[in-house]
Amino acid sequence: MIDTLILGGGLAGTAAALWLADLGRTCTIVEARPRLGGRAHARPWGAGGVAVDYGGGWLRKDHAEMIGLAQRLGLALSPRAPITQHSHFRNGMWHAAPAEDMKAHQAGLTQLLTDAAQMSDDTPASRALNAMTLQDYLTHRALPASVEREVLAWWALSGSAPPDQVGVNEYLTPKLAKGLLVKLEELAFTVQGGASIIPQEAAKASGADVVLGDAAERLEDRGDCVQATLTSGRKITARTALVALPLNTLSQIRFTPPLNPAQSRLSKLGHQGAAIKLMIRAQGPSPGHLATGEALGLRWIYADRHLPDGSTLLVAFGLFQDVGEPTLATVQAAMAAAFPTAEVLDFDWHDWVNDPFARGTWVSPALHSLPDYAAQHWAMQGRIAFAGSDLYSTEQGWFEGALLTARAAVAALDLCLKQNG
């Protein structure tokens, strides 16, 4: 009998398999998709077949687990191109400045950054802010339209959810008190060959058996072992199990015994992350040019790098509710506002919101659900552990969060295996 059955072949599941193998444990990874990687998904696109990240792609400089794992697997990191120009688009036109009235704009930014600085204070004012959704906050402060545009541009990238559903504390962090561009500084590196090469190589190095294209429908803790039933009807028995799946897919699995109350509430509600990430190929823009504002739902567009044919790869973000199903015409119109001299050649994307194995983008917790993400609710129960970037980590939503939760789960699984023979 194998030591651990891992449900989910994303970063958390595959890293856990590698680290369990380091401890001499045997694993089987079950992944519903026909590929490993989860929401790390790179594939060739455009001339030259360069791998492009359709899902998560960036790492911060302080993401020690991710950097260390990449080094262990012999994978190189590429630094983000430095910002050479930051332009703004509004009312369908390009502007060098974010507002006509820069005095009012600056006053609004000052208020924003002042509020961010006090978010962690235990005062009536900070508690009131922490109880607000982002939309509540924008209404409460009545910030200039130019500041609201900039807030929503960065929100599309980091908050990724309808502003009336998620707390402003997901955006107004003390770190933001340093300025809006602190969020850009977080996007320090990408993985050469695409982020999904890390889970692929981790799974290979672990020696784990891998089952692709077969989702788990049931997971039962029998006391002396666990058993999963897959869509194909196949049953896999193991001494322990690790559930490393996106939060929004947990409701598709029947757990015996049932999930605890907090887990059950979150599995039914899910998180609210629903953004769109577009890959745009264009002639003209230079790498390092960032444009923020709003045009046909797109709010954040960054010229990332040159492709082999000389064109430029741009990465664009917007909220799903604002953009809807993107078309070449809408992309061209948005680019005309943000990069008026660019010639759009093509675009591509992956619909994570309607992807049955993700049902959302990176985690964005509903304000009232935050207590249910507390670590104690997701600690190992019986023979089943949980991990993933959606869950209870200080790096929630980042690849680093997936690895931190995997580290904790591996320790808990190994202890359980030692104690139970």
pTM: 0.96
Answer yes or no: are the C-beta atoms of 212 and 199 closer than 8 Å.
no
pLDDT band at 394 (very low <50, low <70, confident <90, very high): confident
Query: Nearest CA to 295 among 246, 331, 340?
Result: 331
**What Rg value do the Cα atoms of the chain yield, rounded?**
22
- Confidence class of residue 226 from pLDDT cuts 50, 70 and 90? very high
Q: What does the block give as tokens for 307?
A: 């492709």
Question: For the chain, what is the HEC assignment?
Answer: CEEEEEECCCHHHHHHHHHHHHCCCCEEEEECCCCCCCCCCEEECCCCCCEEECCCCCECCCCHHHHHHHHHCCCCEEECCCCCEEEEEECCEEECCCCCCHHHHHHHHHHHHHHHHCCCCCCHHHHHHHCCEHHHHHHHHCCCHHHHHHHHHHHHHHCCCCCCCEEHHHCCCHHHHHCCCHHHHCCCEEECCCCCHHHHHHHHHHCCEEEECCCEEEEEECCCCEEEEECCCCEEEEEEEEECCCHHHHHHCEEECCCCHHHHHHHHHCCCCCEEEEEEEEECCCCCEEEEEEECCEEEEEEEEECCCCCEEEEEEEEHHHHCCCCHHHHHHHHHHHCCCCEEEEEEECCCCCCCCCCCCCCCCEHHHHHHHCHHHHCCECCEEECCCCCCCCCCCCHHHHHHHHHHHHHHHHHHHHHCC
pLDDT at 159: 87
**Nearest one of 303, 300, 298 to 313, comparing CA atoms:** 303
d(CA 135, CA 161) in angstroms, rounded, equals: 11
Q: Is 160 left (phi over 0), alpha (psi -120 to 50) or beta?
A: left
Q: What is the mean pLDDT of residues 124-146?
A: 95
Query: Is residue 229's pLDDT more than 80?
Result: yes
**Model pLDDT, residue 384:** 98
Q: Which of 59-68, 118-127, 178-187, 297-306 has the lowest mean pLDDT?
A: 178-187
CATH of 81-186+275-352, one of 3.90.660.10, 3.40.50.2300, 3.40.190.10, 3.30.70.260: 3.90.660.10
CB 27 within 8 A of CB 262: no
Would the pLDDT of 55 be above 90? yes
Report the pLDDT value the prediction gives residue 183, as an integer from 0 to 100. 81
Tell me what pLDDT residue 167 has. Answer: 94
Buried b (16+ CB within 10 A) or exposed e, 131-148: ebbbebbbeebebbebbb
CA 33 from centroid of its chain's CA atoms: 18
Among 145-154, 179-188, 225-234, 322-331, where is mean pLDDT lowest? Answer: 179-188
pLDDT for 47 equals 67
Q: How confident is the model at residue 361 (pLDDT cuts 50, 70, 90)?
A: very high
Chain segment 330-352, per-residue pLDDT in tens: 999 999 999 999 999 999 999 99
Name the residue ranges covered by the structural domains of the chain: 2-41+194-270+366-419, 81-186+275-352
Give residues with Cβ within 8 angstroms of 327, minimum separation 6.
Answer: none
Q: Percent of the chain at pLDDT above 70?
A: 100
Q: What is the pLDDT of residue 393?
A: 76
Closest C-alpha among 61, 52, 48, 7 to residue 400: 61
171: left (phi over 0), alpha (psi -120 to 50) or beta: alpha
Average pLDDT, the chain: 95
Mind listing the pLDDT tens digit for each residue in 33-54?
Answer: 999 999 999 999 876 788 999 9
Confidence at residue 192, expressed as pLDDT on a 0 to 100 scale: 94
Mean pLDDT, to the nearest integer, of 25-35? Answer: 98
Fold adopted by 2-41+194-270+366-419: FAD/NAD(P)-binding domain (3.50.50)
Lowest mean pLDDT among 44-48, 81-85, 321-325, 364-368: 44-48
